[in-house]
Structure 1
């Protein structure tokens, strides 16, 4: 497919769904701008409130090609809702995202990446260490899921759900990272924090020197403060409009 089909859903879906589509497409563009994309792989999904429908990227598109209209709407059983959609989706990615959306109705958005540093830290036995302030944010709500091969087996869903629990950050051993958020902006900011934490840890460990770890009492205190740190004026709600302005400035086609 050298030329992408032109689709316009702006006046064919609800205002709520359209806004979610615009924000989700913007998130994909931001992932590309930050270098977190992996060719056509990895995913961000959002559940349309009060429905059993999830929006996810069309398989085969680069993240800088994703628009509000070419996102694919899928039900929780993996069926494409719009029968006339010219696009498909990645079943391996949907295994992970459908597992999350099935049990975490408090989390509107799930973001999954394969960044080198996240994979590196996820592949360490000790995982993420309390080295930087960014790691504090992630450690406040962090879980791990062991690698089971390509995520195409439905029986892995239960183990993903059990390992995730009520956390908003997850390191997939030998695989990558997932963050959740009450909004798309929150999920994006959580991933920003997690990737920065992993980058800093890899850089510190590369010196060969013994890292200075933050005391556990401080880590526990950050956990108690996590709701303050990641909501209101310091969380995704404040940063997201600025990120949207960046995407509009770079290429406004995402909002079509």
Structure 2
């Protein structure tokens, strides 16, 4: 089956809640380019997927072998939850990518976009027993809102899918122990900004822990538990003028990419 797409230059990629396939393809490609731009990628590995509107059980994912900086809107492979291609592409798909993403798309109705990276700080924090601590405002969004999944080897077996979705639960982020991090978004913008700020929070934590160690075991200051809980509620319940994650930032990201290299739209 051949997918005929409209001119990508006419899609409203800056609208974070757009839901037609052509626009989602451009936004998904933009997300790959942003992950590469901010140094969160891992060569040709890792994967970001988006649910195809109007096609239950189908999602778009990257072909195996392209750098994130090479991804564009027309390159994606459309597959179903069993890994079958549902378009005419012959490009391969990363097996672990299929296992992880099919689990989340099938198990979470709000998982329109699923993003998995091996970003360095997040992976380092995934190896700490305590995980991500509420040491910074960056981290407060995730306080009490991150699941943990123990490492089971490379995710090649479909049997792991039920444990992935169990451990994710209703959280927006899943820490993959000794492996990396996964974020879930109602929009591409949301999935990206959650991954971006998890990495920022993890970097701050590692810097603080390193500084404390270098200072001869200086004590890290953690806010009172009630304050951490308050900040978490403010972010997750969108108090005051806080909007859904990524809503404000996404148009600026599109402007950035259009200036740097608009080929992601092709």
TM value normalised by structure 2: 0.88
Per-residue deviation, 1:55:
0.6
Query: Are the counterparts in 1 of residues 142 and 232 from structure 2 also a CA contact under 8 Å?
Result: no
Query: Are the counterparts in 2 of residues 138 and 193 from structure 1 also a CA contact under 8 Å?
Result: no
Query: Are the counterparts in 1 of residues 114 and 191 from structure 2 also a CA contact under 8 Å?
Result: yes
Match status 1:159 vs 2:163: yes
2:5 matched residue in structure 1: 10
Per-residue deviation, 1:94:
1.2
Q: Which of 213, 220, 238 is matched with 1:211 structurally?
A: 220
1:195 matched residue in structure 2: 199
Per-residue deviation, 1:218:
1.4
- 1:19-49 deviations in whole A, cap 9, x for unaligned? 1100000000001100111000001111113
1:4 matched residue in structure 2: none
Per-residue deviation, 1:79:
0.6
**Structure 1 residue matching 2:31: 3-state secondary structure:** helix
**Structure 2 residue matching 1:156: 3-state secondary structure:** helix
Q: Which stretches in structure 2 are left out of the alignment for 5+ residues?
A: 12-18
Q: Which of 129, 132, 156 is matched with 1:128 structurally?
A: 132
Q: Which stretches in structure 1 are left out of the alignment for 5+ residues?
A: 1-6
2:258 matched residue in structure 1: 248
2:113 matched residue in structure 1: 109
**Structure 2 residue matching 1:139: 3-state secondary structure:** coil
1:41 matched residue in structure 2: 45
The structure-2 alpha-carbon separation of the partners of 1:203 and 1:232, relative to structure 1 and needing over 3 Å to count, comes to closer
1:3 matched residue in structure 2: none
**Structure 1 residue matching 2:229: 3-state secondary structure:** helix
- 1:146-171 deviations in whole A, cap 9, x for unaligned? 00000001111111111000000111
The structure-2 alpha-carbon separation of the partners of 1:97 and 1:231, relative to structure 1 and needing over 3 Å to count, comes to farther
Query: Are the counterparts in 1 of residues 77 and 91 from structure 2 also a CA contact under 8 Å?
Result: yes
**Structure 2 residue matching 1:236: 3-state secondary structure:** coil
RMSD, aligned α-carbons: 2.2
Tell me the number of residue pairs that the alignment of Structure 1 and Structure 2 aligns.
249
Match status 1:223 vs 2:232: yes
CA distance in 2, matches of 1:86, 1:247: 28
**Structure 2 residue matching 1:134: 3-state secondary structure:** helix
Per-residue deviation, 1:215:
1.6
